[in-house]
Amino acid sequence: MRAVRVTEWGGPEVLKVHPDVTIPEPQVNQILIKVGASGVNPVEAYKRTGRDAKSMSLPWTPGTDCAGTVHKIGLAVTNFKPGDRVYTFGSVTGTYAEYAISTEDNVYLLPDQLDFKAGAALGVPYFTAYRALIQRARAEAGQTVLVHGASGSVGIATLQFAKAYGMTVLGTAGTPEGMQLVRENGAKFVFNHRQDGYMDEIMTATSGEGVDVIIEMLADVNLQKDLEILAPDGVVAVIGSRGTAEIKPALMLGKESTIIGVTVRGGVKGQKSRKVISAAINAGIQSGWIKPHIGKEFSLEGAPQAHHEIIDGPGALGRIVLTVP
């Protein structure tokens, strides 16, 4: 099969397609998937640089989630059969390839309403969004939610959940196109996070009361300001950070506010938690309000450009995917 292989740690240029990789064989509880599309996540770009080199071995095929068709199943697999359309929330062998292995508990049936590209936008983005908003921040109907970096794939998913669950949604983006996308996906108020004073505009939009929940994609930049605009008993759920943050803890005392971390891979290891999230996703698809937005798509050969876009692009616009013919 054709697969992207990393044989040395480095920049996007180390992502190279190899045409003669052996198709993996599923073990007892595993499923071999013929990949139709693979999602591209920031974590894969970070790992590509060798950040986790001590815990990884080369050659390495990136990719966490994908959508496609079940090709072959292990002897203990009971919930899937060859030909089923599926999406994944994890991979054993990496999904930047024509075939990928996942364990049965990380595979979910893909509803007919969605094609493979949309399916490849479900796993990490929607699992992360639900985990952060509902399971960790415990956001409720009637609350005000701010999504920082709302035009990215996790941001779009969070907007859709928040709106459907009866919350007042505010979102930020860094480009006019991103701001429009945030608006289209449920935000009542939208702000440009590259403009000075936008946090003051958020306070004005909430009549000076602040926001109840903040979903934070870049804590090293925003965390201090987040604490300033939180309402009493407010929560900041940190999904992403690229460095350290300096904060004034005193801001948390009078408001009794909370900062929580979100790690979707570790946080939803439990089968019960995964079932809850997948059921919520399926309900949203059937009701028509879960609509993954595909921003850019590339072939396997375009993986270097996809990594450049997701880290250094001008502004996120939904999900980046690799399509596999």
- Stretch 26-45: mean pLDDT, rounded? 97
More confident residue, 52 or 189: 189
Q: What pLDDT sits at residue 269?
A: 55
Beta strand 85-88 with 189-192: parallel, antiparallel or unpaired? unpaired
**pLDDT over 90 at 52, yes or no:** no
- Stretch 172-176: mean pLDDT, rounded? 95
| Domains of the chain from N-terminus onward | 3-122+292-323 (3.90.180.10), 125-265 (3.40.50.720)
Of 111, 28, 100, residue with least CA distance to 70: 100
Q: What pLDDT sits at residue 266?
A: 58
**pLDDT over 80 at 268, yes or no:** no
pLDDT digits (tens, 9 = 90+) for 112-128: 999 999 999 999 999 99
What is the number of other CB atoms lying within 10 angstroms of the CB of residue 100? 30
% of the chain at pLDDT higher than 90: 91
Give the DSSP letter of residue 273. Answer: H
pLDDT band of residue 272 (cuts 50, 70, 90) is confident
Which pTM value belongs to this model?
0.95
Task: State how far the Cα of 293 lies from the Cα of 209, in Å rounded to an integer.
Answer: 32
- Stretch 306-314: mean pLDDT, rounded? 92
pLDDT digits (tens, 9 = 90+) for 155-168: 999 999 999 999 99
pLDDT digits (tens, 9 = 90+) for 219-250: 999 999 999 999 999 999 999 888 899 999 99
The string over 37-74, giving b where at least 16 C-beta atoms fall within 10 Å of a residue's C-beta and e elsewhere, is bbbbbbbbbebbbeeeeeeeeeebbbbbbbbbebbbbb
Q: What pLDDT sits at residue 57?
A: 92
